[in-house]
Amino acid sequence: MELYSLTAHELLEQLRGKKISAEQLRSSVSQRIDDTDSKVKAYVRLSGSRQAQEQPKADSGALAGIPISLKDNLCTEGSSTECCSRILAGFKPPYDATVIRKLKEAGAIILETKTNMDEFAFGSSTENSCFGPTHNPWDLDRVPGGSSGGSAACVAADEAIMALGSDTGGSIRQPAAFCGVVGLKPTYGRVSRYGLIAFASSLDQIGPFTKDIRDSCLLMNVISGHDPMDATSVEREVPDYTQSLGKDIKGLKIGIPKEYFIEGLDPEVKNRVEEAIAKLKNLGAVIKDVSLPHTQYAVPVYYILGTAEASSNLARFDGLQYGFRAKSPKLIETYKKTRGEGFGQEAKRRILLGTFALSHGYYDAYYLKALKVRTLIKNDFDAVFKDCDCLVTPTAPTPAFKIGEKSQDPLQMYLSDIYTISANLAGVPAISVPCGFTRAGLPVGLQILAEPFGEETLFRLGHAYEQATDWHKMKPKL
């Protein structure tokens, strides 16, 4: 077995037992990137150094010696962080994101090269990247999902042991499902956002991509917790998430929201998810039909609130302090040309949508209304979690689609987040775990959702399912 193909917990055991060195591991992963990334294109700016510029001591800390790949929107001091946007060309943050600092303290090796993404996380396919698309390791003609497509693909292709992404409306879970890996969006406030270049502040969360549930726990143990630099991070003790593993799920009440099994759901995906539910029932879980009645409003609410916040968060990219600048003798022209040339098409679309939603005379009808419906969606979850320990749904309505298939149809693209958006609006944690394949050999993801700070339930259920199946062990042929 090549080292790059192992999980972090397997590697940690070998590292601690001195069976292998961190250097061996690093070069194994590096070799793998050299061998396969020309096909997958999970990483950006790969021509440069791919090593962390600063190597921590590999023999201490919870993730000592484990290489970790980062989405291109996570700030690392002194190394390029560009959100795969031309407007941030050459931007090297003067500081580390809080999660990066924590990873370094835990002995993890931070890869200098970062993973591909839709520009500013605007997209569901990683096609909206100024560096070009990433290819799904299971079928190179298909997208890896998005926006954290690079992080999902590199873990699936064994080009990384684990990776971090960000999830605003499904940007971790949907690509995790498309690429057959485990992807978690933590509870809003569980992980500090300090140093995550914001898309929509009230929805964004950083989360792990891993090869299995145990690795997800290990990564969450390191990155979770209150951060005085992020006022929206919650002061609440971080449990040892690995304690949730290996427990049975007898009597665990699982809700199946009927609004998630509707027209537009691919029959094969539906079958795999139903098989998974049957499996969970066999394992002793109690399956209940439930309803989240405002589900149908999640997509429109998300595209109002998300774009409104994005239009504001992206206002700072004006070419004055950092990144790309289109020079002009006039200030206003510098603004216009910089933003006109620096942003891609989808970024411009969302900035315009959001600007419109916040404009005088439209605010009440769009932004304020959406805010109210968001509360209703949250109330739906509060209500079902009175009765259920968790919910199980498909992660995405379809398996990975073809590159180019939806890129000309933004509305179709937006619908690929239909099952993931609600968790962000409600702030609840949700995870995608591999639950089988289509006949064409494309992975399908099972989404599990729990009440706020219910990550332990996600891990408990996910792990029990993982123990009873082999989906997570499947590897794409590259």
Partner 1 sequence: MTYEPVIGLEVHVQLKTKTKVFCGCSTEFGADPNTQVCPVCLGFPGALPVLNRLALEYAIKVGLALNCAVQGFTKFDRKHYYYPDLPKNFQISQYDLPISKDGFLDVEADGLNRAVKIRRVHLEEDAGKLIHETQDSLVDLNRTGQPLLEIVTEPDIFSPEEAYQYLTGLKSIIRYLQVSDCDMEKGSLRCDANISLRPQGCAELGVKSEIKNLNSFKAVRDALGYEIKRHNETLENKEKIIQETRLWDDKTGRTVSMRSKEEAKDYRYFPEPDLPPVVISKEKIAEIRASIPELPKDKKARFIKDYGLSEYDAAILVASKESADYAEERLKACPRNYKSIANWLIGPMVSTGASLSCEIYQINITPENFAELISLVEEKQVISNLTGKAVLEKMARTGKSASAIIKEDNLAQISDEESLDKEVDAVIQANPKVVAQVKAGKENSIMFLVGQVMKKTQGKANPKKVQEILKRRIV
Q: What residues make contact with partner 1 under the rule CB under 8 A?
A: 73-75, 81, 83, 88, 91, 93-95, 97, 193-198, 200-202, 228-232, 308-309, 311-312, 315-318, 320-322, 331-332, 335, 355, 358-360, 363, 367
Q: Quick check: is 147 catalytic?
A: yes
- The label of the residue with tokens 């309803």 reads 291
How near is the Cβ of 103 to partner 1 at its closest, in Å? 15
Instruction: Let me know if 202 is a catalytic residue.
Output: no
Looking at residue 160, the DSSP 8-state letter turns out to be: -
Nearer to partner 1, 129 or 136 (CB): 129
Taking each continuous run of H as one helix and of E as one strand, the counts in the chain are: 14, 12
Q: Is the dihedral of CA 12, 15, 19, 22 positive or negative?
A: positive
State in angstroms the smallest separation of the CB of 381 from partner 1: 19
CA 299, CA 353: separation in Å to the nearest integer? 14
Contact 140, 148 (CB under 8 A): no
DSSP assignment string, 36-48: HHHHH--EESTTS
Q: Which residues pair with 79 in a beta bridge?
A: 76
Active-site residue (options: 71, 104, 185, 406): 71
Catalytic residue among 69, 79, 171, 432: 171
| Smaller CB separation from partner 1, 140 or 229 | 229
Distances (CA, A) of 269 to 88, 306, 394, 468: 38, 27, 7, 19
- Which is closer to partner 1, CB of 74 or CB of 384? 74
Min CB(359)–partner 1 separation in Å: 6
Looking up tokens 């199980």 gives: 392
Tell me if 425 sits within 8 A of 203, measured CB to CB.
Answer: yes
Count CB atoms within 10 A of the CB of residue 314: 24
Q: Which is nearer to partner 1, 226 or 349 (CB)?
A: 226
Could you tell me the smallest distance in angstroms from the CB atom of residue 215 to partner 1? 25
Pair 212, 245: CB distance under 8 Å: no
**CA gap 142, 155 in Å, rounded:** 16
| DSSP per position, 299-335 | HHHHHHHHHHHHHHHGGG-SSSSSS-----SSHHHHH
171 is catalytic: yes
What is the DSSP pairing of strand 67-70 with strand 162-167? parallel
**CB-wise, 97 or 184, nearer to partner 1?**
97
- Catalytic hit among 147, 166, 311, 422: 147
Nearest distance from residue 391's CB to partner 1, in Å? 26
Residue 399 beta carbon to partner 1: minimum distance, rounded to whole angstroms: 33
CB-nearer residue toward partner 1: 198 or 428 = 198
Catalytic residues: 71, 147, 171
